[in-house]
């Protein structure tokens, strides 16, 4: 069964450094997402991406965050200048098969990247 | 704004027994979807079951079923014949119908299945 893959599984970065989290969504999916989960807190929506542009972003997704689909397979989340409070598990997800009825299709998640800011 | 509440931070059940995890939500929307996701220690978020709000019939997937009470805004998950592999965090999530496809999550319930 196709899977969403995320790399790396764990990223340790110094505060103030840039970090790029990588995701390969399921190949025929049209919608892509990033969520984060700070330890002990709720999973929070960051951003959704469709048709090569951001379709929605949360208040968390400020100017230090950006997403990109640089080629036909990768979907990246960049944090420009990391802060201690960016430490979290970051999940990528994808949904909606091309050509399908999309309303009720669930999101498929990767294993997550644990980001630790020192 | 939508919110999802899971009031049971931790639960445990004996193997082969039945357990029910509770979830309530708040929304003014009429069309939406509800999901239960499972996150085992391996971390991957796995879809367990989903429910369309316009369907009165409760969704069922093998040993997993839901009790969807739209008027009460309640969406509980019942796991029958619990197995050791059901040990995981369980998250309830809400999604509006339409192009806005973000998931709104509950805080999760940690379920331990004991031998």
Write the pLDDT tens digit of every residue in A14-68.
Answer: 999 999 999 999 988 889 999 999 988 889 999 999 888 999 999 999 999 999 9
CA separation (Å) from A75 to A48, A59, A84, A93, B93?
A: 11, 20, 24, 10, 23
Q: How confident is the model at residue A79 (pLDDT cuts 50, 70, 90)?
A: very high
d(CA B52, CA B68): 10
Check CB contact under 8 Å for A43 and B35. no
Q: pLDDT at position A98, please?
A: 66
B32: chain A residues, CB-CB within 8 Å: none
Q: Do A42 and B100 touch (CB under 8 A)?
A: no
Residue A50: name the closest of A34, A67, A65, A32 by CA: A32
Q: Which residues of B touch A107 (CB under 8 A)?
A: 47, 101, 103
User: Average pLDDT for residues A70-88, to the nearest whole number?
Assistant: 93
pLDDT at A104 over 70: no
Question: What pLDDT does residue B115 have?
Answer: 95
- How do residues B55-87 score in pLDDT, each as one tens digit? 889 999 999 999 999 999 999 999 999 999 999
Q: Which residues of chain B have pLDDT under 70?
A: 100
The answer for residues whose C-beta is within 8 angstroms of residue B84's C-beta and 6 or more apart is B15, B113, B115
Q: What is the reported pLDDT for A100? A: 64
Checking if the pLDDT of A99 tops 70, the result is no
Residue B50 and residue A93: Cβ atoms within 8 Å?
A: no
Beta carbons within 8 Å of B71's beta carbon, 6+ residues apart: none
Q: How confident is the model at residue A73 (pLDDT cuts 50, 70, 90)?
A: confident
Smallest Cβ–Cβ distance between A42 and the set B45, B50, B107 belongs to B107
- Tell which residue, A37, A41, A35, A39, has the closest CA to residue A23: A35
Task: Give yes or no for a contact between B62 and B55, defined as CB atoms under 8 angstroms apart.
Answer: no
Distance from CA of A14 to the nearest CA of B (A): 24
| pLDDT above 70 for A101 | no
Closest residue of chain B to A101, computed from CA coordinates: B98
**Chain A CB contacts of B99 below 8 Å:** 55
- Which residues of chain B have a CB within 8 Å of the CB of A111? 42-44
């Amino acid at each position: 069964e196709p899977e969403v893959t995320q790399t790396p599984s764990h990223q340790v970065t110094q505060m103030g450094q840039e970090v790029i989290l990588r995701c390969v969504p399921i190949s025929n999916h049209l919608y892509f997402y990033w969520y984060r989960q700070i330890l002990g807190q709720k999973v929070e929506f960051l951003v959704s991406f469709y048709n090569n542009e951001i379709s929605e972003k949360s208040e968390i997704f400020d100017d230090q965050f950006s997403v990109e689909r640089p080629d036909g397979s990768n979907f990246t989340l960049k944090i420009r200048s990391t802060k201690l409070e960016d430490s979290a598990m970051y999940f990528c997800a994808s949904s909606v098969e091309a050509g399908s009825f999309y309303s009720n299709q669930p999101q498929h998640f990767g294993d997550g990247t644990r980001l630790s800011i020192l | 704004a939508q919110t999802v509440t899971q009031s049971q931070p931790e639960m445990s059940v004996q193997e082969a027994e039945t357990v029910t995890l509770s979830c309530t939500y708040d929304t003014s929307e009429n069309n939406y979807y509800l999901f239960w996701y499972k996150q085992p220690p391996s971390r991957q978020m796995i879809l367990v079951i989903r429910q369309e709000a316009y369907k009165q019939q409760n969704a069922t997937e093998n040993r997993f079923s839901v009790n969807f009470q739209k008027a009460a805004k309640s969406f509980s998950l019942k796991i029958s014949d619990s197995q050791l592999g059901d040990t995981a965090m369980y998250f309830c999530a809400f999604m509006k119908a339409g192009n806005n496809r973000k998931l709104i999550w509950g805080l999760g319930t940690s379920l331990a299945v004991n031998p």
